[in-house]
């Protein structure tokens, strides 16, 4: 059984002072655990603050919300992998739907980021998922397969280091959530795709994201195919998030 991941994507919320207060409250509320991991993806300006506050907790991983594939250069507003790592990041989100659909990032961009993160020893959390139009057209599995194709050509050991997050675009921030059974079906397809790349399917960790909240997290985590959750809005409230990460996991 893989260790479940409870990941918080704070998006464009919480600057350094707010992030410090949040993490201090979290540390006071949630004891260190050996049977689960908690990952935080704060804003770039709060990354170092969160990493510093959580430095003594082995069950906490801090990551960047986005990185650029170049190590340095004239890329105003971007964050390089070496910079993120120096600030304390040990992981990074890649291919989040907001990066794809709001900022126009391509599968090629995503693939470049996956590779530079792996080269640097950071864990890519690769986000995949379909729009409502694609779902209604029956294209969900084809879309997810195309997005996973950025892993083509990587040796199995490197593919195994990638965490995948299935986030149906139509469920992110909308209040709509895929049923646990629907999510499990897509997760099973992702697991099969990873196994087809030579990876032991039992070690692959696949998270679900999309309007995850205290009311539905138990049902989602009860599905054997779901290895954790990637949470947006509900992770911004320290008390609610503290309760979510301590939900019982079979």
- Residues that are catalytic: 96, 167
Burial class of residue 22 in the structure, from the number of CB atoms within 10 Å of its CB (0-12 exposed, 13-18 middle, 19+ buried): buried
Q: Angle at Cα 189 formed by Cα 116 and Cα 169, nearest 5°?
A: 70
**Per-residue CA distances from 123 to 26, 59, 73, 117, 159 (Å):** 23, 15, 23, 6, 10
Percent of residues in the chain assigned helix, strand, coil, to nearest 5: 45, 15, 40
DSSP string for residues in 43-92: -GGGHHHHHHHTTT-TTEEEEES--BSSSSSS-TT--BHHHHHHHT-SEE
Question: Distance between CA atoms of 126 and 92, rounded to whole angstroms?
Answer: 9
Rg (CA), the chain: 17
Which residue shows structure tokens 């032991």? 200
CB 220 within 8 A of CB 166: no
């Amino acid at each position: 059984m893989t260790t479940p991941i409870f990941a918080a994507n704070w998006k464009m919320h919480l600057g350094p002072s707010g992030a410090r207060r949040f993490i201090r409250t979290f540390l006071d509320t949630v004891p260190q655990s050996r049977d689960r991991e908690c990952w935080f993806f704060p804003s770039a300006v709060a990354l170092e603050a969160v990493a510093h506050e959580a430095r003594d907790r082995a069950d906490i991983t801090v990551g960047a919300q986005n990185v650029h594939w170049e190590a340095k250069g004239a890329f105003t507003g971007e964050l390089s992998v070496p910079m993120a790592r120096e600030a304390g990041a040990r992981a990074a989100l890649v291919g989040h739907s907001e990066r794809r659909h709001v900022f126009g990032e391509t599968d090629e961009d995503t693939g470049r980021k996956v590779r530079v993160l792996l080269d640097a020893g950071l864990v890519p959390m690769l986000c995949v998922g379909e729009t409502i139009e694609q779902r209604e057209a029956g294209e969900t599995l084809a879309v997810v397969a195309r997005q996973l194709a950025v892993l083509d050509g990587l040796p199995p050991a490197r593919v195994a280091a990638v965490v995948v997050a299935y986030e149906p675009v139509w469920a992110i921030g909308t209040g709509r959530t895929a049923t646990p059974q629907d999510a499990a079906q897509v997760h099973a397809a992702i697991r099969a795709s990873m196994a087809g790349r030579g990876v032991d399917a039992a070690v692959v960790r696949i998270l679900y994201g999309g309007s995850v909240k205290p009311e539905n997290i138990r049902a989602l985590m009860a599905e054997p195919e779901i290895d954790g959750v990637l949470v947006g809005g509900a992770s911004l409230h320290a008390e609610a998030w503290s309760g979510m990460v301590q939900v019982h996991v079979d």
